[in-house]
């Protein structure tokens, strides 16, 4: 049995599911979600319900089998004890760093595991990529989404994601993450549209006003926020575009990764975080262009 702890938004939960699902497939066992952190976070909810994921919420019996406390408070207490080597659970894989691949998860031999981390690299699930892509398909598609998918498929479409929100409004978050500026998007758009006939930019953003004032382009734009799609539908629309310009965001990372165009061009920011000394060697798949 594998239990994976979910936290963060849709993109983060997709990474956590993918790492857990790959391990469950490898061990031929069941996958369960620990959603206790989400239930305590007023800003986050379980976000994977729109996809064909194959897992269900962990029960008290599941936690007991792995000797993991069900209470979020006791989880945090135990995590603190683990950090000081005062306690150890042989069934638990607590990610040492979300920036470099933790080989323990890839090589895990036990049939049971509790996963506590972000696991933001395709290396955690690349050997189960076909299954992961299939399970990240939408359970249902609205008429608006279906029309947008068709437009993206028949045009020289480029998904462009501007991640702002708390990346600029929350001082603590902004200091750590930072946000991609106009210069990045200008260079990325020039590169992505080079040689394309009548390209169309599908603009994905949580701040349309800022885009209109700061992103200047002669290329035709479709503002996806005007289409009334769900978050999951927007992410899948990203994957239906021919090419992708992503932000420093797991949301658009997944939109690009799920894109199955064999000739796709994916452009991403060289720096994922504001600090210059953070190593990002494992975050980007081979072939993605970093600016």
Question: 48-59: buried (b, 16+ CB within 10 Å) or exposed (e) per residue?
Answer: bebbebebeebe
Are 23 and 49 within 8 A, CB to CB?
A: no
Model confidence at 66: pLDDT above 80: yes
Mean residue pLDDT of the chain comes to: 88
Mean pLDDT of 133-149: 98
pLDDT-derived band at 279, boundaries 50, 70, 90: low
| pLDDT for 175 | 47
Mean pLDDT of 256-273: 93
- For the chain, the helix, strand and coil percentages under 3-state DSSP, each to the nearest 5: 40, 15, 45
The SS3 of residue 286 is coil
Asked if 163 and 217 sit in the same domain, the reply is yes
Q: CA-to-CA distance for 18 and 128, rounded, in angstroms?
A: 9
Asked if 129 and 100 sit in the same domain, the reply is yes
Asked if 281 and 189 sit in the same domain, the reply is yes
Asked if 41 and 85 sit in the same domain, the reply is yes
Decide which of 177 and 211 is more confident.
Answer: 211
Asked if 128 and 152 sit in the same domain, the reply is no
pLDDT-derived band at 208, boundaries 50, 70, 90: confident
- Backbone φ/ψ region at 71: left (φ over 0), alpha (ψ -120 to 50), beta: beta
Q: CA-to-CA distance for 135 and 254, rounded, in angstroms?
A: 13
Last residue of one domain, picked from the residues 81, 101, 135: 135
Name the pTM for this structure. Answer: 0.91
| pLDDT for 173 | 44
Q: In what order do the strands lie in the sheet with 113-116?
A: 56-57, 31-34, 2-5, 113-116, 92-94
Give residue-wise pLDDT tens across range 122-133. Answer: 999 999 999 999
Mean pLDDT of 226-234: 96
Q: CA-to-CA distance for 156 and 199, rounded, in angstroms?
A: 5
H/E element, 116: strand 113-116
Asked if 154 and 117 sit in the same domain, the reply is no
Asked if 129 and 152 sit in the same domain, the reply is no
* Mean pLDDT lowest among 102-106, 124-128, 156-160, 236-240: 102-106
Give residue-wise pLDDT tens across range 71-93. Answer: 665 566 556 555 555 546 778 88
Asked if 124 and 151 sit in the same domain, the reply is no
Asked if 160 and 87 sit in the same domain, the reply is no
The CATH number for 282's domain is: 3.40.50
Structural domains in the chain (count): 2
- Please report, to the nearest 10 degrees, the dihedral formed by the alpha carbons of residues 257, 262, 265, 269 taken in order: 20
> What is the number of H-type helices and E-type strands within the chain?
13, 11
Are 136 and 26 within 8 A, CB to CB?
A: no
* First and final C-alpha spacing in the chain: 41
pLDDT-derived band at 171, boundaries 50, 70, 90: very low
Asked if 120 and 171 sit in the same domain, the reply is no
Q: Which two tokens stand for residue 22?
A: 């790959």
Q: Dmax of the chain from CA atoms?
A: 62
Last residue of one domain, picked from the residues 135, 162, 189: 135
**Degrees, nearest 5: CA angle 4-266-98:** 30
Last residue of one domain, picked from the residues 97, 115, 135: 135
Asked if 119 and 157 sit in the same domain, the reply is no
DSSP secondary structure code for residue 56 in this structure: E
Print the domain residue range for 152: 143-290
Mean pLDDT of 26-34: 97
Q: CA-to-CA distance for 21 and 116, rounded, in angstroms?
A: 14
Asked if 186 and 233 sit in the same domain, the reply is yes
């Amino acid at each position: 049995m594998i239990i994976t702890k979910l936290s963060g938004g849709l993109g983060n939960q997709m990474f956590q599911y993918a790492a857990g699902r790959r391990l469950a497939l490898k061990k031929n066992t069941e996958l369960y979600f620990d959603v206790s952190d989400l239930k305590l976070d007023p800003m986050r909810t379980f976000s994977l319900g729109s996809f064909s994921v194959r897992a269900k919420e962990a029960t008290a019996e599941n936690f007991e089998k792995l000797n993991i406390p069900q209470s979020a408070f006791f989880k945090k207490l135990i995590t603190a004890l683990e950090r000081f080597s005062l306690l150890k659970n042989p069934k638990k894989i607590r990610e040492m760093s979300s920036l470099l691949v933790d080989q323990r998860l890839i090589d895990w031999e036990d049939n049971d595991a509790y996963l506590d981390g972000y696991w933001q690299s395709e290396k955690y699930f690349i050997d189960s990529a076909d299954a992961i892509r299939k399970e990240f398909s939408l359970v249902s598609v609205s008429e608006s989404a279906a029309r947008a998918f068709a437009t993206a498929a028949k045009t020289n479409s480029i998904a462009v994601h501007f991640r702002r929100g708390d990346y600029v409004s929350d001082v603590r978050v902004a200091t750590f993450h930072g946000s991609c500026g106009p210069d990045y998007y200008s260079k990325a758009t020039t590169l992505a549209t080079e040689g394309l006939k009548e390209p169309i930019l599908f603009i994905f953003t949580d701040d349309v006003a800022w885009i209109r004032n700061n992103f200047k382009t002669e290329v035709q734009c479709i503002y996806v926020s005007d289409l009334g799609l769900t978050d999951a539908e927007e992410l899948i629309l990203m994957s239906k575009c021919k090419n992708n310009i992503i932000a420093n965001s797991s949301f658009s990372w997944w939109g690009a990764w799920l894109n199955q165009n064999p000739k796709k061009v994916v452009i991403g920011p060289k720096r994922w975080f504001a600090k210059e000394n953070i190593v990002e060697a494992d975050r980007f798949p081979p072939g993605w262009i970093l600016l």
